[in-house]
Chain A
Amino acid sequence: MKIKIADIVINLYFLIVCLLIAMPFVLVIAISLSSENSLHQFGYQFLPKEWSLEAYRIVFEKPEPLLRGYGVTIAITVIGTVLSLFMTALMAYPISRSDFRYQRPLTFYVFFTMLFNGGLIPFYILMTQYLHLKNTLAALIIPAVMSPFNIMIMKGFLDKISREIIESAKVDGAKEYRIFFIIILPLSTPALATLGLFIAFGYWNEWFNALLFIDNDKYVPLQLLLVRILSQAEFLANSPMAEVADKLKFAQFPTLTVRMAMAIVASGPMLVIFPFFQKYFVKGLTVGSLKG
């Protein structure tokens, strides 16, 4: 019976932890479903005092920025993931071949970028002054195309592909690029799927490069849109004019609820989809060991 008690205690512990973890999400959803007036009266509540869909109505009334945000985000996610997967596999294949003379130096060449980099300022100057990528979609895609981490994971997977397959293809006179496209790529579909999920996830949540390189409204991805909304609201709330602004602005326009509704519409769909792929996220870590 002792074991049963331990089970109950552990389950209880996890229930409480999970409740604490999920709470913040519930709060944001509750705020978006409250009426603006009740928020001003009672503050944010886990259970809305007055339910209202007004915020969502306002968000969907003028959906252009949101739609454009979705468009940009989907574009960089799709293009970025395909490009990134291809480049990662292309780099990982030669350095996974132990009979390749330059395997070790090239592995080091990739691995070293994981340990050392030039930092933000040289990178920013390179991207804007030399490559002239400010305000382009490329600025959102290129920085994450070849993560050394992903290359090492891919290499770890390719290391396990049997040598005989490659050898027999070579005996048949196949060239390396043919082996790569016809044999290696199809064989590594499981690894590519897992890595692709990782990469797509990264692009979807991308905000750092957008913050650095995008100030043109045309290329604002979802996350940057959210940054802009937040910083606008904060500017009002923290300025010396806060109280005046509060009376003038917030009284007429339901900013608090709309802000949260916007956040939910922008990130909700992925928050529902990604957890389904959860086990692949873990798999991605075990697919290849990190050791070079």
Chain B
Amino acid sequence: MPNIPPAGLPSSHEQPAAPVPVKRKSWLAKELWHIRRNRELILLALPGVLFKLIIAYLPMVGLILAFKYFRYDQGIFGSKWVGFDNFEFLFKAQDAFRIIRNTLLYNFTYILLTMAVSLLMALLLNELTSKLIKVYQTTLFLPYFISMVLVGYIGNAFLDFQNGYLNTILELFGQKGHNWYLETTPWIFILPLVALWKGVGFSTLVYFAGITGISTDYYEAARLDGASRVQMMTRITLPLLKPLVIILFILGLGNIFRGDFGLHYFVPNNVGPNFPTTDIIDTYVYRALTKLGDINSAAAVGFLQSVVGLVTVVTANLIVRRIDKDNALF
């Protein structure tokens, strides 16, 4: 910029200058004035902003690793630029297809299964008037309170080859016991079942809270008009619950590329033979990072996960906005 202020003038941003930059400077001056006026609130937000910058925004810069040949001694910026080489494995190795397919199919199954079952449970729970509701709620909610590690223990109690309860039952009926951890097909059913068991209580309670939030006026009016309980359920409760269902569905879809690492790591026990039906992007990336794995392929698939994840949630939200603006998340 050749526009150097003449010597002698204080070189602050607020000084009046030549006609052309006036607009910019005055904008800057205005903004500075605003900043000064809001400085106390800015100061309060500052620690959080810096914290987020380091913990959440810096790793986003690290996404460029997907285009580099990473070496620990060279760091993120020092490592060699390799363009799209890391993405080649997506088209070559069957791993890539497998983990992406598994992540998407499992997540979609979890979302739909949990949603359908817990919606039904919430509707039925709402029909009850007894004090037993509390007992049911607590029992349904119980699995939510344990960690996936413990779920792994519980899974083991059922699936262990020698002592597992499932094999005990099978043998009772004269069937041969399965070595579940070394097989592939059973996991297609086991994993959604475990996911449902763990998550159903929480989402039932979310929907139930949504139902209890509906004004009783609607039901009073319907009762006066002689509506039956089923009619009230389908004509009042369900339509009024729609926004909640849609929002939770979008949230789920937006995260469809983020697998449940704990579920897919502890329950199938991280055993190679069942990878074809249990391995997801998250477990693959974790193994690449901690065990002897291909960290560059993992960076590439991680990049895909982040970017496609953003695209899916924004798209899903856009679609909902089109249909009904009030239900959109943002």
Contact = CB atoms under 8 A, between A and B. Distances in A.
B45 interface: yes
Contacts of A11: 128, 130, 132
Contacts of A10: 124, 127-128
A219 interface: no
A124 to B, nearest CB: 6
A123 B76 CA distance: 11
B43 interface: yes
Contact of A115 (B76, B148, B313): B313
B142 A28 contact: no
A119 interface: yes
Interface string B29-44: 0000010011011111
Contact of B149 (A13, A95, A226): A226
A25 B142 contact: yes
Contacts of B135: 18
Nearest to A145: B51
A230 B301 CA distance: 29
A175 B47 contact: no
Contacts of A123: 59, 62
B282 interface: yes
A275 B145 contact: yes
B289 interface: yes
Nearest to A123: B59
Contacts of A14: 124-125, 128, 132, 136
B167 to A, nearest CB: 7
Given A106-B45, A119-B302, A126-B62, 14 more contacts: A7-B128, A10-B124, A18-B139, A21-B200, A21-B201, A24-B157, A122-B58, A122-B62, A176-B41, A275-B142, A278-B137, A281-B141, A281-B202, A282-B205
Interface of A: 3, 6-7, 10-11, 13-14, 17-18, 21-22, 24-25, 27-28, 31, 39-40, 42-46, 87, 90-91, 93-95, 97, 100-102, 106, 109-111, 113, 115-126, 129, 131, 142-143, 145-146, 148, 151, 175-177, 180, 201, 205, 207-208, 212, 223, 226-227, 230-231, 234, 237-238, 246, 256, 259-260, 263, 267, 270-271, 274-275, 278, 281-282, 285-286, 290-292
